[in-house]
Chain A
Amino acid sequence: MIVFLTILSLVSGLVYGYFDVESSFISAITQNTHIVLYILMFSVGISIGMYDGIVQKIREYHIKIFIIPIGIIIGSLLGGIICSMIVKMPVGHGTAIASGLGWYSLSGATISKLVSAEAGSIAFLSNLMREIFSFFIIPFLAVHFNYYTCIAPAGATSEDTTLPVMLKYTNEETVVLSVLNGVICSFCVPILISFCLNIK
């Protein structure tokens, strides 16, 4: 449903922009997206702050909880570097796109605002693909690799949208690690995007 509404928002925006319809209300919104972005980040912060027992779970797993997000982040950044070389894009932009870790809405909107509409739409589409394809990749990884690896394609979405698939194909321990990974990755996405865009 969320994926459908997201695609609907993008398509209706494209149609509205293409036909150049004039509406002072919509123009006021589209010209002040930085305020909407601040509200979104504030809301995301509240969601992270609301997680109960997160400190206890971090103590339980010690350093192990960082192994999976570190692997996801390094793998994604390396992938971003390779992609930027293939498509001849600045490395900072390529790594920023890959830093979305599946969080297509935030990365698409942020990169669109900070870089360009094209880079934003690549970030949006590639991270949307990452989320959609995760639903199909996770069952395969659970059989042919190991349960922990199922968290890798999901990236930042492992705490919400892809969690039901994780519940179905892995075990409780992996689900807990999946939630923690999602929180860590979600926290890292804006940091990584800001950091990558400062790469000269």
Chain B
Amino acid sequence: MDILIVMCIGILVGRVSILRRAKKKNEYLSLFCTFILIFSMGVMLGKKDHFFEELSSLGLTSFLFFLIPTVLSIGLVYWLTRVFMKKDK
């Protein structure tokens, strides 16, 4: 819940027109934070015993978690847009 409150505060701050000049800097800040978080995640995984042995099973599981939700999203969006959004292509 904390992160949602922080994001909502960010949305309000983003409406302030004076900050629009710093749009690019804000994008860099997002990227920088993202890379730090991913690096930290890597450190945590690297320190974990037997992580690299588990990586092969995680890879297959990850592929499954990519494939099934993506295929179902495509199927559902196709059906919904065929029914509710007549004008396409």
Contacts and interface: CB of A to CB of B under 8 A. Distances in A.
> Real complex partners, A and B?
yes
Interface of A: 2, 5-6, 9-20, 26, 29-30, 33, 36-50, 64, 67-68, 70-72, 74-80, 82-83, 86-87, 94, 97-98, 105-106, 108-110, 112, 117-118, 120-127, 129-130, 133, 137, 141, 145-149, 151-153, 155, 187, 190-191, 194
Given A36-B36, A118-B54, A127-B66, 12 more contacts: A13-B39, A13-B45, A13-B46, A42-B7, A44-B30, A45-B10, A47-B26, A76-B69, A117-B44, A117-B45, A122-B65, A152-B77
Nearest to B12: A49
20 contacts: A6-B35, A12-B39, A18-B46, A41-B3, A43-B26, A45-B9, A45-B10, A45-B11, A49-B15, A50-B14, A79-B71, A82-B68, A105-B34, A109-B34, A118-B54, A122-B65, A125-B58, A126-B61, A146-B82, A148-B81
A126 B62 contact: yes
Contact of B65 (A12, A80, A152, A155): A80
Contacts of A130: 66, 69-70
B76 A14 contact: no
A98 B7 contact: no
Given A13-B41, A64-B84, A108-B38, A75 B58 contact: no
Given A36-B40, A47-B26, A146 B76 contact: no
Contacts of B1: 194
A126 B65 contact: yes
Instruction: Give the secondary structure class of B's interface.
Output: helix
Interface string B4-48: 101111111111000110010011011101111111111111111
Nearest to B38: A9
Contact of A87 (B64, B73, B80): B64
Contacts of A191: 4
A146 B87 CA distance: 10
Contacts of B82: 146
Contacts of B20: 50
Given A149-B77, A149-B78, A33 B4 contact: no
Given A126-B62, A146-B82, A109 B38 contact: yes
Given A40-B34, A67-B81, A190 B4 contact: yes
Nearest to B13: A46
